[in-house]
Amino acid sequence: MPENPHHHFKIHKPLGMLSQLNSNEVRQIKSKRFLSELYDFPKGTMPVGRLDEKSEGLLLLTTNGKLSDNVNRMGVEKEYYAQLDGVITKDAINRLRDGVEIGLAGKKYSTKSCKAERLEITPSLSPPDPSLRIGRHRLNSWITITLTEGRFRQVRKMTAAVGFPTLRLVRVRIGNIYLDDLDPGSVYPLADLVF
Per-residue model confidence as pLDDT tens digits over 46-72: 999 899 999 999 999 999 988 877 777
Nearest Cα neighbor of 129 from 171, 181, 169 is 169
Residues 90, 71: Cα–Cα separation, whole Å = 32
- Residue 57 is given by DSSP the state E
Distances (CA, A) of 6 to 35, 58, 127, 195: 18, 20, 33, 16
Query: pLDDT over 90 for what percent of the chain?
Result: 73
CATH 3.30.70.1560 fits 78-174, yes or no: yes
As a CATH number, domain 8-74+177-190 is: 3.30.70.580
What per-residue confidence (pLDDT) applies to 28? 55
Catalytic amino acids? Answer: 52
Q: What are the tens digits of pLDDT across the range 88-119?
A: 999 999 999 999 999 988 999 999 999 999 99
Residues 6, 194: Cα–Cα separation, whole Å = 13
- pTM comes to 0.92
| Identical topology for domains 8-74+177-190 and 78-174 | yes
Other CB atoms within 10 Å distance of the CB of residue 112: 12
Query: Would you list the domain boundaries of the chain?
Result: 8-74+177-190, 78-174
- Residue 90 is given by DSSP the state H
Q: What are the tens digits of pLDDT across the range 139-185?
A: 899 999 999 998 889 999 999 999 999 999 999 999 999 999 999 99
Q: What are the tens digits of pLDDT across the range 15-52?
A: 999 999 987 654 555 688 999 999 999 999 999 989 99
The answer to whether 23 and 37 are in contact (CB under 8 A) is no
